[in-house]
Amino acid sequence: MKYINNKFTIEKISVETVAKKFKTPAYCYSYSKLKENVENFKKNFKSFAPLICFAIKSNSNINLIKEIKKFGLGADVVSKGELMAAIKAGINPKKIVFSGVGKTNDEINYAIDKKILLINAESISEIKEIEKIAKRKNKRIQIGIRLNPNIDAKTLSQISTGKKENKFGVNNKTFFEIIKYCKYSKYIDLKCLSVHIGSQILDHKPYEKTLKIIEKILEKTNHNFEFIDLGGGMGISYSDKSKKLSYVKYNIAIKKFLKRNKLKVIFEPGRSIVGNIGFLVSKITYIKKSEKKNFIILDAAMNDLMRPALYGAVHKILPSIKKSKNSKKPCEFVGPICESTDKFTLIKNFQELNEKDLIVICDVGAYGMSLSSNYNIRPKPVEILIKGSKIKVIKKRQMYKDLI
Ligand SMILES: *Cc1c(COP(=O)(O)O)cnc(C)c1O
């Protein structure tokens, strides 16, 4: 991803070429960036060889999941649909964990039939539901319990999940009750303690604190867990000024923990694997000048990329062709949808732009396409995977006949 002769280029393909071939808006993913992210992730934690379960909800394109599977990753799923996608992509069910507070009877049944590694339960009621189904099938089911460690992950409040006011996991007291309950159950095999404290975490300290809390809890019980599932949440840099999560420090904390607690580690990364591999290419439909700023009206909208409207997230926007002349007024990049939240970002010093120019919205590989909708009966964009000078359509643009 760099400018070659002033043209924004993903591997060996310029976004101009993409737009010409596939129209806009278009989601483009870089294969080599994906590979680099996976290799980096593995390298950071290689001393204890964790099971890395890719969080499917961050990007559920089946062809991308197939590539991720080839790197040996498992999957973290949060619905039957995601579980079906993971299995269809060829991921070994023994590398799949199922999270979420509201798994239905149908979803649990399906997960049990597929013999996945773990159902990470989040309440006593859910455990009883799993037990009921297991009893009927006369099977013993491996589960995890998700602990709510009451930790501030120091991220956006909308994507914090480990505080006591969040719906996720169970508190210490319930955790001990569940351990006791499972001890006497013929059908439940409690194998794992799981946590996931939030997303886009850039500070290692909340992770350190979580490990300390887990350690205390493990000291108080004599239950033999086999796994510790530390969830995902590792943040990425959405801006050049952003701080960076220290994998080195996180790794040190885990290694210290593992010295005293012999457990197999599971991770559930989503964003850190796919976030920075994705680019949304969009064309400027109109430029509307106002007193204080120019509205750059794009053909991409909040239905294609919801993160800005949903959490006030800011994505870097870059021109497809670099020019030296600057726009006289600040540029606000907006979509065509009839909602005031349908805007991406305001940039003070952007280069001069013209109608029909292309721009690139960066770092949209995670929670981009997977959060997209058909609001305003807008067809979802095409998704393409770029590998060197090769382009592969991994999902076709939706057609109006699919929608109407
Ligand atoms: C969303 C989610 C993840 C992935 O989070 P990232 O921030 O994308 O790494 C992992 N585990 C669970 C339980 C989740 O809900």
Ligand 1 centroid–CA 198 distance in Å is 7
Indicate if the alpha-carbon torsion angle 366, 68, 236, 352 is positive or negative. Answer: negative
pTM strictly above 0.95:
yes
Residue from 58, 161, 168, 371 to probe ligand 1 pocket by mutation (most atoms less than 8 Å from CB):
58
Residue from 199, 250, 307 to probe ligand 1 pocket by mutation (most atoms less than 8 Å from CB):
199
Domain 2-29+275-403: top CATH class: mainly beta
- Say whether 338 is catalytic: yes
Residue from 76, 96, 234 to probe ligand 1 pocket by mutation (most atoms less than 8 Å from CB):
76
Q: Please, is 189 exposed, middle or buried when counting C-beta atoms within 10 Å of its C-beta (0-12, 13-18, 19+)?
A: middle
Structural contact between residues 320 and 326, judged by C-beta atoms closer than 8 angstroms? no
| Lining residues, ligand 1, CB within 6 Å | 55, 57-58, 76, 78, 99, 196, 199, 231-234, 268-272, 366
290 CB-near residues (< 8 Å, 6+ apart): none
Domain 31-272: top CATH class: alpha beta
> Residue 107: which of 123, 116, 57 has the closest Cα?
116
Minimum-distance ligand 1 atom for the alpha carbon of 271: 8
Ligand 1 centroid–CA 356 distance in Å is 37
Minimum-distance ligand 1 atom for the alpha carbon of 233: 7
Angle at 47 between CA 45 and CA 49, to 5 degrees: 70
* Helices within 227-278 (DSSP H only): 247-260, 271-274
Asked if the domains 2-29+275-403 and 31-272 are classified in one and the same CATH topology, the answer is no
Preceding peptide of 25 cis, ω within 30°: yes
What pLDDT, on a 0 to 100 scale, did the predictor assign at position 162?
A: 86
Question: Mind listing the pLDDT tens digit of every residue in the chain (404 residues)?
Answer: 899 999 999 999 999 999 999 999 999 999 999 999 999 999 999 999 999 999 999 999 999 999 999 999 999 999 999 999 999 999 999 999 999 999 999 999 999 999 999 999 999 999 999 999 999 999 999 999 999 999 988 888 888 888 888 899 999 999 999 999 999 999 999 999 999 999 999 999 999 999 999 999 999 998 999 999 999 999 999 999 899 999 999 999 999 999 999 999 999 999 999 999 999 999 999 999 999 999 999 999 999 999 999 999 999 999 999 999 999 999 999 999 999 999 999 999 999 999 999 999 999 999 999 999 999 999 999 999 999 999 999 999 999 999 99
Q: How far, in whole angstroms, is CA 152 from its chain's centroid?
A: 19
Domain boundaries, the chain: 2-29+275-403, 31-272
Q: How far apart are CA 79 and CA 69, in angstroms?
A: 19
Minimum-distance ligand 1 atom for the alpha carbon of 194: 13
